[in-house]
Amino acid sequence: MKYCPQCATELRDAQINGEPRKACPVPECGFVNWGNPTPVVAIIVELPEGVVLAHNVAWPAEFFSIITGFLEADEDPAECARRETLEELGLKAQSCKLVGVYPFAQQNQVIIAYHIEASGEIILNEELDAYRVVAPARLKPWRQGTGLALIDWMQARGITAPR
């Protein structure tokens, strides 16, 4: 962020409570960019055949992940999980259970992860161009971000995540 969203003045480097921040120099404005993390909902979507991993059109070809989406203003995170499952995969949520909350410092995000048992036929939206359905015991979670949710979910089911 280069300009103040309240008065359009160029933000300047400042020390606020001992932390480096960008702040508006206009005293009457007082805007400070606190750099708060963005809430993201991650969804372990499970069909009877396994967990859906999808490929985003902007990612390298080999990278597949669980479904994610940004939490909207005034939206309940569980409702966001149901909405994203329908929007991105065309699947209807039959159940929705919280898995956990995880930091993702690399993206300045906090991830709120859910497990959804879903039904229907997968119809990808424009953000996704491929998917795989993987048996839970064959999942190979990554060691950051949404992968931490997969590890916890697998362990809760008695499945040892490969290292």
What pLDDT is attached to residue 1? 86
Sequence length of the chain is 163
CB 41 within 8 A of CB 76: no
Surface-to-core class of residue 4, CB atoms within 10 Å of its CB (0-12 exposed, 13-18 middle, 19+ buried): buried
113-163 residue pLDDT tens: 999 999 999 999 999 999 999 999 999 999 899 999 999 999 999 998 776
- What does the block give as tokens for 153? 């979910």
**d(C-alpha 3, C-alpha 11), whole Å:** 5
- Give CATH 3.90.79.10 domain extents, the chain: 38-156
Work out the average pLDDT over 61-87. Answer: 97
3.30.1180.20, 3.30.460.80, 3.40.50.2300, 3.90.79.10: CATH of 38-156? 3.90.79.10
Q: Which of 37, 158, 152 is nearest to 100 (CA)?
A: 152
Q: Which CATH class is domain 1-34?
A: mainly beta
What pLDDT is attached to residue 9? 97
Residue 19, CA distances (Å) to 7, 15, 16, 23, 65 in order: 23, 5, 5, 12, 34
CB 116 within 8 A of CB 154: no
- Give CATH 2.20.70 domain extents, the chain: 1-34
Residue 99, CA distances (Å) to 6, 23, 111, 129, 155 in order: 37, 36, 10, 26, 11
In this predicted structure, the answer to whether residue 48 has a pLDDT above a threshold of 70 is yes
Average pLDDT across the chain, whole number: 95
What pLDDT is attached to residue 163? 66
**d(C-alpha 83, C-alpha 41), whole Å:** 10
Distance of CA 81 to the CA centre of its chain: 10
What pLDDT is attached to residue 74? 96
Work out the average pLDDT over 3-28. Answer: 95
- What does the block give as tokens for 69? 């989406």
What pTM was estimated for this model as a whole? 0.87
pLDDT band at 111 (very low <50, low <70, confident <90, very high): very high
